[in-house]
Amino acid sequence: MVKVLFLFGEICSGKSTYEPEGKSVRITVSNVVKKLMNSEDREVLQKTKHMDTMIANELANDLWNYDAFVFNSKETTPDYLIIDGIRQGTILTVLESYIERSHPYWGIEYKWLDVDREERKRRFDARKDHKDTLSFDEAEKRDNLLGLSNLFSMLKEQNKI
């Protein structure tokens, strides 16, 4: 049985390097947003709050494509399908509903990577990514404006993390 692992965390918390035990396939939300926005600039990508339904639908389409075209044998079916980097509760709600309707046999898990601010800032400074057109403080603030802190509160209140 495939388990969908919703992986959350603040900027530079280690989402892109987190691997659960077993085989996994990763869908990175920022890649979906880059495709929809036709940009890699973090400042542009963090101005997509109004696109939550489009992002959720694109992610649901990716899930459908994996199930329809990739997960057709024991060798190609992973233990985990990781959805990495959702920033808005509305996107999560749409995907949870889609999975419950279309793939009721898939399990759902939630993981929040909690890394202290100093370590995240150190990682941000060390990576020297050309896509980082904002400072660490600005990027962190924009993530929260997108809804990340609200998402954390929602997940905690629902006892999912």
* Predicted pLDDT of residue 128: 86
pLDDT averages per 10-residue partition of the chain, 161 residues: 96 96 95 84 69 94 94 93 96 97 97 97 92 89 92 95 90
Lay out the sheet containing 24-28: strands in order across. Answer: 24-28, 80-84, 3-9, 107-113
* Predicted pLDDT of residue 131: 77
Query: CA 57 to CA 35: how far, in whole Å?
Result: 13
Helix (H) or strand (E) holding 6: strand 3-9
Q: Is 95 helix (H, G, I), strand (E, B) or coil?
A: helix
- The amino acid at residue 117 is R
Tens digits of residue pLDDT in 88-135? 999 999 999 999 999 999 999 999 999 999 999 999 999 988 878 889
Q: Using the 8-state DSSP alphabet, how is residue 67 labeled? A: I
Query: CA 82 to CA 57: how far, in whole Å?
Result: 16
